[in-house]
Chain A
Amino acid sequence: KQEVTQIPAALSVPEGENLVLNCSFTDSAIYNLQWFRQDPGKGLTSLLLIQSSQREQTSGRLNASLDKSSGRSTLYIAASQPGDSATYLCAVDSGGGADGLTFGKGTHLIIQP
C-alpha cells in the first residue's frame, strides 16, 4: 500500500526566504503527483500536477520536482511572502482509480512578515 510522508509537519520562516517542502512516497509506480494548498477553513487548491514522465513543473514562484526512483518530490517556493502561509499537501496517484490516490498529511507553513 502506498504511503505518503511530508516532512516537516510545520515550518516557520521569515519573509523573502526561498524554501523547500518535501514529499516522499514508498511505491515508485505512480501515474502522477499533485501539490495542493489549503488555507484555513477552505478547500484544497491545486498548485501543480507532475506526470510520471516529467521531472518538474513550474508556476510563477513555485517549482515542483519529481524523482520517482527515489520516491521523492519537492515543492520549491521562491521569495516567500506572508500570503504563502497555508498548509501544503501532496497527493500521489498510483493508478487503479480513486482508491489509488494517497494524500500526505501536509506541511503547515507560516511566513513571518
Chain B
Amino acid sequence: DAEITQSPRHKITETGRQVTLACHQTWNHNNMFWYRQDLGHGLRLIHYSYGVQDTNKGEVSDGYSVSRSNTEDLPLTLESAASSQTSVYFCASSEGVANTGELFFGEGSRLTVL
C-alpha cells in the first residue's frame, strides 16, 4: 500500500543546531506539504512543493527550508533550531492540480528544542 513516512518520530536537540526532518511518500503525488501543529494555533503551513525543483513558502516559513530533488521526498531543515520551533511537524501529500485535493498525512515528528 502507498504511504507517507516521517523520520525521526521523536527528536530532542539543542538551540542553534541544524535539524532535518525527513518525509517520504510512495503515492507518487506531485504536491507535498509541511505543517506544524501547536496547541492553540492548529495546523500552520510551513513550506510546500508542487513538483520536483519547486518549493514555496507558507504562513510560518521563517527559520525553515525545504528542497525537492525527486517526487518522493521533501526534507524539512531547521537551519539553527530555536525553542519556538518545538512542535509536532506533519508532512502531507496530495495529487490535486487546480486545488489541493485530498490530503494524506504522515504520523508526525515531535521535535523538542532545549
A residues 40-54 near B (Cβ < 8 Å) are: 41-46, 49
- A76 is an interface residue with CB less than 8 A from chain B: no
Contact A93 B105 (CB under 8 A): no
**Chain A residue at minimum C-beta to C-beta distance from B48:** A98
Contact flags (1/0) for B76-91 with A, using CB distance below 8 Å? 0000000000000010
Residues of A with C-beta under 8 A to B104: 46
Contact A99 B42 (CB under 8 A): no
- In the bound assembly, the distance between CA atoms of A96 and B3 in angstroms comes to 26
Q: A98-B31, A99-B58 are in contact. Are A104 and B103 (CB under 8 A)?
A: no
What total of chain A residues lie within 8 Å of the partner, measured CB to CB?
A: 24
What total of chain B residues lie within 8 Å of the partner, measured CB to CB?
A: 23
- B102 is an interface residue with CB less than 8 A from chain A: yes
Contact B42 A31 (CB under 8 A): no
Contact A99 B106 (CB under 8 A): no
Q: A98-B33, A98-B45 are in contact. Are A44 and B90 (CB under 8 A)?
A: yes
Contact B42 A93 (CB under 8 A): no
* A interface residues, Cβ below 8 angstroms from B: 31-32, 34, 36, 41-46, 49, 89, 91, 93, 95, 97-101, 103-106
| Among candidates A42, A95, A98, residue contacting B107 with C-beta atoms closer than 8 Å | A42
Contact B107 A101 (CB under 8 A): no
Contact B98 A91 (CB under 8 A): no
**Chain B residue at minimum C-beta to C-beta distance from A41:** B108
- In the bound assembly, the distance between CA atoms of A31 and B100 in angstroms comes to 9
Q: A31-B98, A43-B90 are in contact. Are A99 and B103 (CB under 8 A)?
A: no
Q: What are 25 contact pairs spanning A and B, CB under 8 A?
A: A31-B99, A31-B100, A34-B102, A34-B103, A36-B103, A43-B90, A43-B107, A44-B90, A45-B105, A46-B104, A46-B105, A49-B102, A93-B99, A93-B100, A95-B98, A97-B100, A98-B58, A99-B45, A99-B58, A99-B59, A100-B100, A101-B100, A101-B103, A103-B43, A104-B42
